Every structure is written in structure tokens, then in C-alpha cells.
Amino acid sequence: MPRRTAGGAPPDTPPARLSLISRHLAPDYPINTPYTVERLPSTIDTSLLPKTQTRKMSSQPPHPTLLIPGPIEFDDAVLQSMSHYSESHVGPAFVATFGETLSMLRKLFQTSDPASQPFILSGSGTLGWDLVASNLVEAGEDVLVLGSGYFSDGFADCLRVYGANVTELKAAPGQKPQLPEIEKALSEKRYKAITVTHVDTSTGVLSELKNLSALVHKVSPDTLILVDGVCSVACEEIDFDGWKLDGVVTASQKAIGCPAGLSISMFSGRAMQAFQNRKTPPASYFASMKNWTHIMQNYEAKKPSYFATPSPQLIHALHTALTQILASPLSERFALHRAASDRIKQAVADLGLKQVAGNPDEQAHGMTAIYLPESVKQADILPSLAKKNVVFAGGIHKEIATKYIRFGHMGVSVLDPRRGDIDRAVKALQDGLAECGYQKA
């Protein structure tokens, strides 16, 4: 509905009041559907609005709540940043936005070492594996891959494509390799790098980075410690400097809360030096640190620079998401994710169900992988949840794929209690299982 008010108009101009009045003449249509597409500007005195409208404050049309382990539900402001008008990728406004975004990543990863190097590339999270495999490892070099599920397997596959000699320490589904066997493996061969999947999205198994890194630094100090943080960055503690990590790769669409399409990573000065010391050229072109490092450094120094065209809209959305994240202490964010996770895991236990990640110390805080009762099929419970407007994911670990479901609890669904997403999802799970005939034994 076209109106032309509020640009810089004080909120008490006649048209602003007319609009507030007109709300009460109209039926209760959700705002900002494809038909109305209206949003709440922050300059308006919303105290005049009915107090029960909190769920209607969203600029998003009604839709099922997405509670898979990524993509997650997005904040309105982040989604609105996706519609930013077109800008030159080398113009001063966008260069400043990109530069600030890179600088904010340093804070998210808790690194103040100026030698640390952030990268933001257009691509899926998977591209982070190529970045590691084609730049930090050379063909024929040995890499130890800690296998905790589907995504560790993928990281190993990617490393092999670029010629790494991969040794996999694989754990059973729902488990992870333990420190003693890792120490044994590290003492048997000199590995260029060790990779660990912080949270394996296929199982919800959480790896412990701090003790792992301490072990590697003790037993094999030249080995680079490279972390797949796709399902952990921004919901699990990562102290990049303090824990002496060498690389963390992640994606935009999980706990960071920005739509998919960006590969996001941080590398230590030691990792960048290992790249500089390569004897062979990088094994990729689009994911080459040779092509991107100076571009990232220029952007962060607010200097225009070009290798390939970034996505200004996605970078704006990431800028908004990181600004929101850094507005509160990270410790608070992690604690809120832990608290929601504890609540969900208690509810799962109360239902008499088991998690795929069996050990409480090895359970992720941004997702829960739940074994179904023997009597309930994935093909029944997922549609039942969908009818209740809650979207969970199926299993993906090849050995147990049909036996479990995955509940993602990251970002606004956890942090914005007004949404009520977690409670509704737990209730839907309880009701859905009952409708599928399940009763706790």
C-alpha cells in the first residue's frame, strides 16, 4: 500500500497518526506478507500499538520455523540487509563495509594477533575445505583427520582431491577420537596438519579444541591445527589466540545467522607462513590464498581491490549479523546457547529418547541429534512436525541415517525469547511423537 510518510517526518505528523488509526480499521492481516510488505521503522513510537503484536513485529511473512542445523531463522534486519541497493564492489561505501566486516570477524574469533588473517569468499561452507586443502597442504604431505561423522569424511575427501596423504582416525557414530589415540597417531608420523570437526553436523558430536590443541603443541608442535567450525562458530566458545589454533573455517548460514553463500575463515600467522613457504603453487584458483590474501588486506585497510566480485548484499547481511553478535559479550551468547541446549537435551531425556552423541561432554550446544523410538519412522515424524510449523532435519550419517532426526537451535531462535521457537519445537516434538503412537516406556 503506497504511502509517503515518515522519511524524516516526526512520528506525530498527521499521516503517521492516520496510519496508526487505519491499523484498527483493517482486519488482522500479517504485516509484510508478499501482499503488504510493510515494515516497522525504528523511528516510530510503537507504544501506540497493541501489546499483543510482538510476533507481528517481524517483517517476515508467516512461515514454518526452520530449526535444522543450518540454514537457521534469520533476524529481520539481517534479511533486510540482503535487499541493499546495488553498489560498486570497489566503491568507497562498500569497501568500508567489507573492511569493517573483516575486522569484526577478528572479534568473533577472539583473535587480536595482527598476523591472523580473515577471509570471506563467495561460496558454500564447503569451499573452506578447498581453501585449507589447496593452500596449507601440498601434494604428498601427511594430514591426520579426526573422524567424527559425515563432515569429517568430507574434509578428508577434499584433502585427498588436492593430493594430501590422509590418515583418518575414525570414531563410531556419535563418538569422536580420544586424546590418547590421537597422541599415539601423532607420535607415529610427522603430520603437516591435523583437522578436527568442532561440531559434526551429522551427529551433533562436539570436539574439545583446547585440550586437543595443547596436546598437538606438546607432541607435534609443527603440526597445523585446522578446525571445521561450520556448526560451531558463534554458538560454541572458540578462543583462537588462547587455544593457539591455526585455522577455523565456517559458513554464514549457521550460528552467525546470515543467509548462506559465504565461506568465512580465520588463519593464524603460522598458517599464513606455512602458505608462504609452499614449494608448489596453490592447487586451486578461485580458492587460492595467493589471489585473495592481499585483497582481504586491502579491503580491511579500506582500499579498493579486485580479484573476483564479492556479493555486496551478502556482505551487508554479514555486517549486520556480526554487528548484532558483537553488541553483547560473546560469553553471554555462548551461555544462552548452552542453556537452551541443556533445556532441549533434558526434554529429550524426559521423552525417554537417546541422543546420537551419547557422552554429555561431547554434545554440541547448537544442535541435538535425537535417535527415534524404534516404532517411529523419520518419514512420519518429520511431516508431523511440519504440520505443526516446525522444520527439523533428517539424519545424514550414512550408517544410521534413517534412525535419527536433527534439531538445530542456533541464533535468533535461541536468543530472542519473544519468538518462543524452542518451546514450540519441544512441544511439537512431544505431540508429534505421541501422534506417531510413541509412549515413554
Is 419 annotated as ligand-binding? no
17's grid cell: 497518526
First-to-last alpha carbon distance for the chain, in angstroms, is: 55
Which secondary structure element, helix H or strand E, spans residue 313, and what is its range?
Answer: helix 312-326
Report the Cα 141 to chain-centroid distance in Å: 30
CA torsion sign, 337 to 338 to 339 to 343?
positive
Nearer to a second copy, 314 or 357 (CB): 314
Min separation Cβ 49 and a second copy, Å? 6
Q: Return the residue matching grid coordinates 513510537.
A: 45
Nearer to a second copy, 106 or 198 (CB): 198
Report the Cα 210 to chain-centroid distance in Å: 20
Nearer to a second copy, 24 or 327 (CB): 24
Rounded distance between C-alpha atoms, residue 206 and residue 173, angstroms = 12
Rounded distance between C-alpha atoms, residue 348 and residue 334, angstroms = 21
Which secondary structure element, helix H or strand E, spans residue 256, and what is its range?
Answer: none
Nearer to a second copy, 89 or 106 (CB): 89
Min separation Cβ 66 and a second copy, Å? 5
DSSP SS3 for 137: coil
If we measure between CA atoms, which residue out of 385, 343, 394, 348 comes closest to residue 365? 343
Min separation Cβ 207 and a second copy, Å? 21
111's grid cell: 583473535
Min separation Cβ 353 and a second copy, Å? 22
Rounded distance between C-alpha atoms, residue 232 and residue 320, angstroms = 19
Min separation Cβ 203 and a second copy, Å? 16
Min separation Cβ 113 and a second copy, Å? 28
**Contacts of residue 315, Cβ cutoff 8 Å, sequence gap at least 6:** 94, 97, 98, 101, 120, 262
DSSP single-letter state for residue 145: E
Residue type for position 385: L
Nearer to a second copy, 35 or 276 (CB): 35
Nearer to a second copy, 87 or 100 (CB): 87
Nearer to a second copy, 228 or 362 (CB): 228
Rounded distance between C-alpha atoms, residue 400 and residue 322, angstroms = 36
Min separation Cβ 8 and a second copy, Å? 7
Binding residues for substrate: 406
